Amino acid sequence: MPRRETEAIILRTYPLKEADKIVSFFSRAWGKTRGVAAGARKLKNRFGAALEPLSHVRLWYFERETRELVSIDSAELIRSYFDIQSDYATGLACAYISEVCEQTLPEREPNEHLFRLVVLALEHLRQTGRIWPALTYFDLWAVRLAGLLPSVERCVACGSALAPDAEAYFQLYPAGLNCARCRLDGAWELSAESRQMAREMLRASLPHLAPRAWSRETGADLRRFLGQRIEAHIERKLVTRSALESVE
């Protein structure tokens, strides 16, 4: 039984029997993995606060060749995101990031870029307490890294370039943006402002974005477009995405 060591983000935990937990975690070295933390539900246990959702931890675990679940030996907290989850909005934003990782990451496939994206988004949430810039950036890059981002520069139907101030509309099938001429019934508009934001986010890192007066409306059409891409890919709705729509 090889003992592995990895940085990880705790995605979710579930109770198992009386005293144990099943832990789903995003390992930096080995990708999404699930394991058993024996005794983790006892009042005094060796994991402390390290297995709280979204904790950034160093984990040690044993692979068991014949079993799907690894056996978590110990965990050491690198950074806790427990405090920010007591706020409703940032707590929901954390739950959203966790759900997207749970639903979109294949088992046991490392994804260094996405790992860094999750840490970046969580740090931004912790430092600013504002959810919309972090979530818009997270959505855009999560979709891009999954290979699901259509061009924001060209019409998917006729291939013509979308001028920065031209109207553009998005739809599910075929996924992408349409110019005003190719617009289909029921397509949503993606504003010129939001397309400009997407271009900026693909170039500049989250802490270096131009200052904006962010509200829920800022980039809402872009997040809808990106959320649709994720939901089409996983073939189900994200539970936390509809909850986020009620946040001011």
Interface contacts to Zn ion, rule CB under 5 A: 155, 157-158, 179, 182
CB 165 to Zn ion: min, Å? 16
CB 187 to Zn ion: min, Å? 11
Nearer to Zn ion, 94 or 179 (CB): 179
Treating both helix axes as pointing N-terminal to C-terminal, what angle do 88-104 and 131-145 enclose, rounded to 10 degrees?
A: 0
Q: Which amino acid is present at 237?
A: K
- The neighbouring-strand residues paired with 70 are 35
Q: What angle do CA 201, 103, 79 make, to 5 degrees?
A: 65
CB 140 to Zn ion: min, Å? 22
CB 184 to Zn ion: min, Å? 10
Chain Cα centroid distance, residue 64: 29
Nearer to Zn ion, 77 or 157 (CB): 157
Nearer to Zn ion, 129 or 174 (CB): 174
CB 160 to Zn ion: min, Å? 5
The DSSP letter of residue 206 is: G
* Distance separating alpha carbons of residues 39 and 110, to the nearest angstrom: 28
Nearer to Zn ion, 181 or 236 (CB): 181
Q: Show the tokens assigned to 156.
A: 């998917």
Compute the residue count for the chain.
248
Burial 127-139 (b: 16+ CB within 10 A, else e): eeeebbbbbbbbb
Nearer to Zn ion, 180 or 239 (CB): 180
Phi, psi dihedrals of residue 56, rounded to the nearest 5°: -95, 120
CB 179 to Zn ion: min, Å? 4
